[in-house]
């Protein structure tokens, strides 16, 4: 048998989450964001479960080609557009929609021949100062774009960093709506956080990522506990060995845990080289055969140790849930000083994905 760590993907939860998003923003079209290997869920294995989406948004052009080769006919959006003029041939061939965030991209498009005009998303920098054009220059850029025969439909797009701040969101989106009205185009503003906390903002297209996977955009599970969004991934493994230690014995690297009493401990086939956070402290929750218990000592590369004091029936081969329906990835991320986004996207290729 193979090493027992697996990532079990609950496709019914994925479908459920897409439906919930539709109910929250019934008038918007949905770009399901599947960048970073569908947030670690395995793009090749899960994309079909999201086929009710209106389009897929992603970064790597190879993933877009994969979807087209699978005969996916709806729109595909490249969230950072193209990185080099070479890619425009492929973008044209596979009819991809691209984000345009920089002057050089516009001029490169102008110089290229396409089989038919390309739909673009014009990215506005909304104060994150990452990608996009200053809103002050948007009319001028729009004029330039209109002169380029290669460019088809133009959609205004922005990304916010303050989804929970309703006031700020309203202010920034008002500016965009003014431009949208004047130009007469569509717009796409909301990602997960703004879908949940500003559902009344009228976006023609929304771009949910993390909530599709049932994980909180704030890093706090309690913020989405009321939504009926369901965690999609369960990271599972098994106990592969058992140790009985004496009072005063230490556990793991650096002897980070020293037991005051005799203890039975389980060795679990899961470590930081699987994507489990190395910074998870002593006492991080795990479930062994339906019983809540916790880690002891430091997380190793390929293993971790767990307390079996209250799991008398646990034995070699017992099931361990690292995160999933019961132990929320948000909670593991929290106590490890990170967010669910990072843990999901750092699941390593050696963890097999199993579709449920
Ligand atoms: C990643 C990304 C999203 C999705 O963000 P979530 O917070 O996961 O919903 C939306 N838009 C852009 C531009 C992104 O890069």
CB distance 123 to ligand 1 below 6 Å: no
CB distance 236 to ligand 1 below 6 Å: no
DSSP state, residue 314: -
Structure tokens at 191: 């990602």
Does the CA dihedral 171-128-29-136 come out positive or negative? Answer: positive
What is the number of the ligand 1 atom nearest to the C-alpha of 207? 10
CA distance 96 to 171: 31
CB distance 207 to ligand 1 below 6 Å: yes
Active site residues: 35, 253
Identify which of 247, 232, 248, 289 has the alpha carbon closest to the alpha carbon of residue 266.
289
**Side-chain half-sphere of 143: how many Cα atoms within 13 Å?**
3
pLDDT at 269: 98
Supply the pTM of this predicted model. 0.96
Nearest CA to ligand 1 atom 7: 192
Identify which of 166, 204, 173, 224 has the alpha carbon closest to the alpha carbon of residue 20.
224
Taking residues 232-250, what's their average pLDDT? 97
Structure tokens at 347: 């699941």
Query: Which element (helix H / strand E) includes 229?
Result: none
Is 32 in contact with 47 (CB distance < 8 Å)? no
What is the number of the ligand 1 atom nearest to the C-alpha of 195? 9
What tens digit of pLDDT does each residue of 125-171 get? 988 889 999 999 999 999 999 999 999 999 999 988 776 788 888 88
Decide the pairing of beta strands 304-307 and 291-296. Answer: antiparallel
Identify which of 264, 269, 251 has the alpha carbon closest to the alpha carbon of residue 320.
269
What tens digit of pLDDT does each residue of 28-72 get? 999 999 999 999 999 999 999 999 999 999 999 999 999 999 999
């Amino acid at each position: 048998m193979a090493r027992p760590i697996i990532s079990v993907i609950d496709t019914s939860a994925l479908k459920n989450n897409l439906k919930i998003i539709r109910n929250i923003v019934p008038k918007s079209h949905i770009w399901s964001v599947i960048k970073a290997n569908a947030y670690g869920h395995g793009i090749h294995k899960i994309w079909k479960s999201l086929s009710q989406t209106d389009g897929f948004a992603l970064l790597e052009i190879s993933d877009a080609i994969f979807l087209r080769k699978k005969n996916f006919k709806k729109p595909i959006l490249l969230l950072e557009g193209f990185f080099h003029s070479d890619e425009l041939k492929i973008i044209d061939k596979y009819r991809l929609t691209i984000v345009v965030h920089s002057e050089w991209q516009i001029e490169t498009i102008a110089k290229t021949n396409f089989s038919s005009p390309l739909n673009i998303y014009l990215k506005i920098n909304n104060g994150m100062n990452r990608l996009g054009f200053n809103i002050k220059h948007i009319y001028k850029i729009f004029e330039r774009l209109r002169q380029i025969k290669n460019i088809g439909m133009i959609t205004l797009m922005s990304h916010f960093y303050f989804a929970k701040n309703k006031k700020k969101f309203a202010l920034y989106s008002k500016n965009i709506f003014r431009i949208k009205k004047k130009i007469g185009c569509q717009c796409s503003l909301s990602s997960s956080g703004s879908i949940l906390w500003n559902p009344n903002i009228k976006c023609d297209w929304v771009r949910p990522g993390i909530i599709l996977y049932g994980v909180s955009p704030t890093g706090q599970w309690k913020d989405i506990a009321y939504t009926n969004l369901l965690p999609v991934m369960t990271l599972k493994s098994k106990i592969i060995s058992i140790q009985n230690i004496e009072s005063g014995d230490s556990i793991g690297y650096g002897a980070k845990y020293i037991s005051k009493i005799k203890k039975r401990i389980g060795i679990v086939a899961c470590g930081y080289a699987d994507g489990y956070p190395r910074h998870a402290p002593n006492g991080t929750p795990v479930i062994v055969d339906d019983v809540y218990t916790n880690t002891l000592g430091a997380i190793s590369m390929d293993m971790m140790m767990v307390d079996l004091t209250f799991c008398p029936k646990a034995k070699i081969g017992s099931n361990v849930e690292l995160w999933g329906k019961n132990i929320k990835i948000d909670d593991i991320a929290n106590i490890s000083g990170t967010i669910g986004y990072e843990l999901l996207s750092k699941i390593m290729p050696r963890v097999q994905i199993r579709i449920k």
